[in-house]
Chains A and B, each alone.
Chain A
């Protein structure tokens, strides 16, 4: 074994500690009974993969040697038990997935190309795999129009061609929004080079879902030990920071009707709503910093929505309901990485007003993603 192989192996092992989802994927099904048919459950952060994307992962594996994203993508195309369980489920956007949804009481999945989407690829490859994947997604939706909707993959590192694809995705393919897996080459959507993407999303009246991915390599060091770079901690730091950059950069003054969706109960941002408003106002008063027209929380409530993916906690839900209101929260499971039944059991049992529950399960998703009620 040469040094590079050893490094690769170490990377894969390091990543294993950070992988989302259960090893078997079966365990929790015994714990949660099948949800009843009372609600129209629309799950809004549900992952799939396409063969062109996995082929792309195989290609980059040939010349990239490190990085948490790389480890994750190489795991998906490898032959570990994790991959044997997870990858076929990601690739299935047909009868198998629909049967699973029936089993678990889910009416509709809003599908998105699994993280990190096409953002590791060179711009040309990324655009082409994004287009192919969007076409595959639309085929699945046409086959199961009442069971699937979808977010278009885009390649932020080619903003100009992404805008063309965004227009095609909504006006020709009838998709429901866009997915961006946090940073692209260490850059965030608040930066001016990405503004055409924000402008297009606003003009097309469709949200951008900012999904987690690993922190940029340059920021990863404090999170390397104990597998903290992944779903247990680092993903949230990365994605929460992305959301905060959007809030504080002023893009919502520039694009007031832009909608951004964050998973995992807002990636921690709602917990800080008092403090960042207070400190922002204090800094503005004392030092004249900050150019937002409104307090940061104003944009959080007007321009951002959060989903329950991977955070099936009633106290967190109640907290978020209190500070954000019921119109800003959507249900999500994060299939196949997390269990749809567990996600449903959590919201079914939550002690919140019934009307709020209906909004979270379906009403808000129907509105934001333009789904048929």
Chain B
């Protein structure tokens, strides 16, 4: 018996997985909101990139050498698949819908023109996948921040022509962050088109990385969270939310710990105002509640979930698995067993995602 089959068998016997019987009930709606995929073209472009730079030892290069080295291995196979592995797994665990996004770092390590091309073809393919399986998938458009003007245009096309549900940006692009004014056309288009920007982690920018280079700390242990939370804080402190009040940023991993600091961010901001600085119009906590939405990806920690509901509000928290990097049964089990009321569970499982990403079931 293969490992996957074993898992399936265990889940069939819900008790074996610690899953309450209702986990497999078809009646509950579950929308998973940070679910990765890739395309053949994306894989080819990434392979060309890592092949052209054999000398680079950075974590993301090592990771992509591994992923593109054998597309038949489990992770790339699952990234490239929709119907053979993904949908059956969704069915098995009662996942109604996956909100798909091109896996990190998307097109952001590629040269500008290549990146723009791969982004557009990825979005076309994504729209086709969604159309082929009605009700099972929604999607975040990929854009190439390397070319802000075309990225803004692509956001419009993704919204109006492809009917996608938001955009994904994998944190820094060439060590630059979206608070940089040259990227504001992207923020402007996203706000104007009501397309939330999901800021997904990637390996920290070059200058941030050095103290995290040991013990693989630049990865999901620590560095991804520092990179992505710092990105959000930069956007907030730049005044972008004053300029684009409707802009919505989504962070995974239970908010990348930004709101762990909510009290201190407010305190330091007030201290700045007392010193006569007027950096931003509102308190950080007000932007966190107005402009930030978070997902549970990879953070199956009930205490962090409760903390997040307490400080950000129930309406700002959404469920995510992070397929295929995290296990679907674990993410479902987490939600089924988390100490939530049933209305809270539904809000996090699907209602908030429907509202934030304009998803119609």
Given contacts A228-B233, A237-B230, A272-B222, contact A219 B303 (CB under 8 A): no
Interface string of A67-109 (1 = CB under 8 A from B): 0000000000000001000000000000000000000000000
B207 contact set on A, CB distance < 8 A: 218-222
Interface string of B144-157 (1 = CB under 8 A from A): 00000000000000
Given contacts A249-B215, A323-B303, contact A227 B272 (CB under 8 A): yes
Which residue among A215, A237, A242 has the maximum number of chain B CB atoms within 10 Å of its CB?
A: A237
Given contacts A16-B275, A274-B299, A275-B220, contact A226 B263 (CB under 8 A): no
Segment among B18-26, B28-36, B187-195, B254-262 that sits at the interface with chain A: B254-262
19 sampled A-B residue pairs with Cβ under 8 A: A219-B207, A219-B208, A225-B179, A231-B264, A232-B265, A232-B268, A232-B272, A241-B211, A245-B215, A248-B217, A248-B221, A265-B260, A271-B254, A274-B299, A276-B221, A278-B298, A279-B219, A290-B215, A313-B264
- Judged by a CB distance under 8 angstroms, whether B214 is at the interface is yes
- Judged by a CB distance under 8 angstroms, whether A244 is at the interface is yes
- Judged by a CB distance under 8 angstroms, whether A5 is at the interface is no
Among B217, B238, B301, the residue within 8 A (CB) of A225 is B238
B237 contact set on A, CB distance < 8 A: 225-226, 228
Given contacts A220-B207, A245-B211, contact A310 B217 (CB under 8 A): no
Shortest distance from the beta carbon of B16 to any chain A beta carbon, whole Å: 20
Given contacts A233-B233, A237-B230, A271-B260, contact A276 B222 (CB under 8 A): yes
Interface string of A241-277 (1 = CB under 8 A from B): 1101100110000000000000011001001111110
Q: Is the CB of A249 within 8 A of B234?
A: no
Q: Is the CB of A316 within 8 A of B307?
A: yes
Q: Which residue of A lies closest to B206 (CB)?
A: A221
Q: Is the CB of A278 within 8 A of B300?
A: yes
- Judged by a CB distance under 8 angstroms, whether B205 is at the interface is yes
Shortest distance from the beta carbon of A244 to any chain B beta carbon, whole Å: 5
Q: Is the CB of A249 within 8 A of B214?
A: yes
Q: Is the CB of A222 within 8 A of B211?
A: no
Q: Which residue of A lies closest to B255 (CB)?
A: A271
Question: Chain B interface: which size bin?
Answer: 35 or more
Q: Is the CB of B263 within 8 A of A22?
A: no
Given contacts A226-B237, A226-B279, contact A275 B253 (CB under 8 A): yes
Q: Is the CB of A271 within 8 A of B304?
A: yes
Given contacts A23-B275, A228-B237, contact A241 B221 (CB under 8 A): no
Shortest distance from the beta carbon of B95 to any chain A beta carbon, whole Å: 20
A-contacting residues, B295-350, CB 8 Å: 298-301, 303-304, 306-307, 310-311
B-contacting residues, A164-221, CB 8 Å: 183, 186, 188, 190, 215-216, 218-221
Among B219, B230, B253, the residue within 8 A (CB) of A222 is B230
B175 contact set on A, CB distance < 8 A: 222
Number of A-B contacts (CB under 8 A): 162
Given contacts A237-B230, A271-B304, A276-B222, contact A289 B211 (CB under 8 A): no
Given contacts A17-B277, A310-B264, contact A283 B216 (CB under 8 A): yes
- Judged by a CB distance under 8 angstroms, whether B226 is at the interface is yes
- Judged by a CB distance under 8 angstroms, whether A322 is at the interface is yes
A218 contact set on B, CB distance < 8 A: 207, 210
Q: Which residue of A lies closest to B179 (CB)?
A: A225
Shortest distance from the beta carbon of B263 to any chain A beta carbon, whole Å: 4
B209 contact set on A, CB distance < 8 A: 219
A60 contact set on B, CB distance < 8 A: none
Shortest distance from the beta carbon of B219 to any chain A beta carbon, whole Å: 7
B208 contact set on A, CB distance < 8 A: 219, 221-222
A-contacting residues, B275-302, CB 8 Å: 275-277, 279, 298-301
A283 contact set on B, CB distance < 8 A: 216, 219
- Judged by a CB distance under 8 angstroms, whether A27 is at the interface is yes
Sample of 18 more A-B contacts, CB < 8 Å, known A186-B211, A236-B261, A279-B219:
A16-B275, A16-B277, A21-B271, A27-B274, A221-B207, A223-B230, A227-B272, A228-B237, A232-B265, A244-B222, A248-B214, A249-B215, A272-B225, A279-B220, A289-B216, A311-B263, A312-B263, A319-B304
Q: Is the CB of A315 within 8 A of B311?
A: yes
Q: Is the CB of B211 within 8 A of A274?
A: no
Interface of chain B, main secondary structure: helix
- Judged by a CB distance under 8 angstroms, whether B212 is at the interface is yes
A316 contact set on B, CB distance < 8 A: 260, 263, 307
Shortest distance from the beta carbon of B289 to any chain A beta carbon, whole Å: 13
In the complex the two chains form, what is the Cα distance from A227 to B268 in whole Å? 10
- Judged by a CB distance under 8 angstroms, whether B177 is at the interface is yes
Which residue among A16, A220, A245, A272 has the maximum number of chain B CB atoms within 10 Å of its CB?
A: A272
- Judged by a CB distance under 8 angstroms, whether A24 is at the interface is yes
- Judged by a CB distance under 8 angstroms, whether B170 is at the interface is no
Q: Which residue of A lies closest to B271 (CB)?
A: A22
In the complex the two chains form, what is the Cα distance from A157 to B275 in whole Å? 35
A265 contact set on B, CB distance < 8 A: 260
A222 contact set on B, CB distance < 8 A: 172, 175, 177, 205, 207-208, 230, 234
Shortest distance from the beta carbon of A136 to any chain B beta carbon, whole Å: 29
B272 contact set on A, CB distance < 8 A: 17, 227, 232
- Judged by a CB distance under 8 angstroms, whether A280 is at the interface is yes
- Judged by a CB distance under 8 angstroms, whether B142 is at the interface is no
Shortest distance from the beta carbon of B275 to any chain A beta carbon, whole Å: 5
Q: Is the CB of A245 within 8 A of B217?
A: yes
Shortest distance from the beta carbon of A283 to any chain B beta carbon, whole Å: 7
Q: Which 6 A-B pairs have the closest CB atoms?
A: A274-B301, A313-B263, A226-B237, A232-B268, A221-B207, A248-B215
- Judged by a CB distance under 8 angstroms, whether B269 is at the interface is yes
In the complex the two chains form, what is the Cα distance from A4 to B306 in whole Å? 51
Shortest distance from the beta carbon of A231 to any chain B beta carbon, whole Å: 6
Shortest distance from the beta carbon of A309 to any chain B beta carbon, whole Å: 10
Q: Is the CB of A280 within 8 A of B214?
A: no
In the complex the two chains form, what is the Cα distance from A264 to B264 in whole Å? 9
Shortest distance from the beta carbon of A13 to any chain B beta carbon, whole Å: 10
In the complex the two chains form, what is the Cα distance from A271 to B311 in whole Å? 14
Which residue among A16, A19, A238, A275 has the maximum number of chain B CB atoms within 10 Å of its CB?
A: A275
Q: Is the CB of B263 within 8 A of A216?
A: no
Shortest distance from the beta carbon of A366 to any chain B beta carbon, whole Å: 27
Among A20, A228, A315, the residue within 8 A (CB) of B307 is A315
Q: Is the CB of B234 within 8 A of A228?
A: yes
Shortest distance from the beta carbon of A249 to any chain B beta carbon, whole Å: 6
Q: Is the CB of B269 within 8 A of A232?
A: yes
Q: Which residue of A lies closest to B257 (CB)?
A: A271
Q: Which residue of A lies closest to B180 (CB)?
A: A225
